[in-house]
């Protein structure tokens, strides 16, 4: 055979599949960790932007709205 024995090619195919699965799992781990960092970062960012309840109760309203029923 031109490229070696059948058994050697079969082992090489298994090794290539294992390497591919290893790279795939590394990529998935990177994506999951990146997503979690982005999620927690956005939660922290938006949690700091929310006004306190005291600020909401003490704000002055500019004008009241009147609804007239016909």
Q: Domain extents for the chain?
A: 6-48
Instruction: Provide the token pair at 7.
Output: 């058994």
Q: CA distances (Å), 8 to each of 20, 29, 51, in order?
A: 18, 31, 67
CA contacts within 13 A on the Cβ side of 29? 6
Q: What is the DSSP letter of 3?
A: T
pLDDT-based confidence at residue 33 (cuts at 50, 70, 90): very high
Whose structure tokens read 């079969």?
Answer: 10
pLDDT at 1: 45
Could you tell me the pTM of the whole model? 0.53
Comparison of pLDDT for 33 and 67, the residue scoring more: 33
Give the pLDDT confidence of 39-69 residue by residue, as tens digits.
Answer: 999 999 999 988 888 887 887 777 777 788 7
């Amino acid at each position: 055979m031109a490229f070696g024995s059948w058994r050697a090619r079969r082992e090489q195919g298994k090794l290539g599949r294992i390497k591919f699965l290893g790279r795939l799992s590394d990529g998935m781990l990177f994506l999951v960790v990146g997503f979690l960092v982005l999620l927690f970062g956005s939660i922290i960012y938006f949690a700091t932007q929310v006004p306190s309840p005291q600020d909401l109760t003490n704000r002055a309203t500019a004008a009241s709205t009147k609804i007239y029923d016909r």
